[in-house]
Amino acid sequence: MRQGAKVSRLIGERLPATIELALVAAVLALAVGIPMGVYAALKRGSFMSQVFMTVSLLGVSLPTFLIGILLILVFAVTLGWFPSFGRGEVTQIGWWSTGLLSAKGWHHITLPAITLAIFQLTLIMRLVRAEMLEVLRTDYIKFARARGLSDRAVHFGHALKNTLVPVMTITGLQLGGLIAFAIITETVFQWPGMGLLFIQAVTFADIPVMAAYLCLIALIFVVINLVVDLLYFAVDPRLRVEKAGGH
């Protein structure tokens, strides 16, 4: 109503930026959170493990907008290493636009992605640590040690695989959350995604844009939940055994 354009076109222009930001943040959270969680579980009580737990507590507690403002203050204003707003240089591939094919694009996405990933990273780290400690106390891990398997085989061949099943659930839901709740990050960094479009629509009471955004987010959550449920069957061998036994 305000811009005099189709809602589908407005969202289509902003969707690539939000998806790109959410995916980079998710990969960063997984790539850092899982190793930190495994280390904190295997080396619990060590100095670095305590540091990781303290950092995770801060990451869970601090609000996203404050993390973003602090990163801008330190790395954009004080040090001048990264830009504080915008998407940078964008490459158009058909109707899809991406900034990941240029150095400037990566330069611009770094701070927003870190801001969006910190909460998910700390959540994944704490979950992996808790699940890993639980799995290491189970009987089959004791049997694996009794068979003479090395610590590496026990930890990464048996314990970590079973730890990742609940982690996959949380990660799937968090990916939907990253897309839905990137509103704050996009507003702080003026990232031209759907979240910023939604905030602008709320400001001007542009109801068609608001309604379409909320319906799209609901659809994304449903699809992600479906994909996670299907991945259970691929990851957890017990489900395949139960199906074979049932037949």
Residue type, 189: F
Domain ranges within the chain, ordered by starting residue: 7-246
Each residue's pLDDT tens digit, 161-174: 777 777 777 777 77
pLDDT confidence of residue 2: 76
Task: Give pLDDT tens digits along the chain (247 positions).
Answer: 777 788 888 888 888 888 888 889 988 988 888 888 888 887 877 888 888 888 888 887 888 888 889 999 999 888 888 888 888 788 888 778 888 888 888 888 889 999 988 888 888 888 888 888 777 777 767 777 777 767 667 766 666 777 777 777 777 777 777 887 788 888 888 888 888 888 888 888 888 988 998 898 889 888 888 887 787 777 666 666 555 555 5
Tokens 């611009």, residue located: 108
Total Cβ atoms within 10 A of residue 19: 18
Each residue's pLDDT tens digit, 209-225: 889 988 988 898 888 88
d(CA 177, CA 245): 37
Give this prediction's pTM: 0.81
d(CA 82, CA 85): 9
Domain 7-246, second-level architecture: Orthogonal Bundle (1.10)
What's the CA dihedral at 99, 102, 104, 108 to 10 degrees? Answer: 30
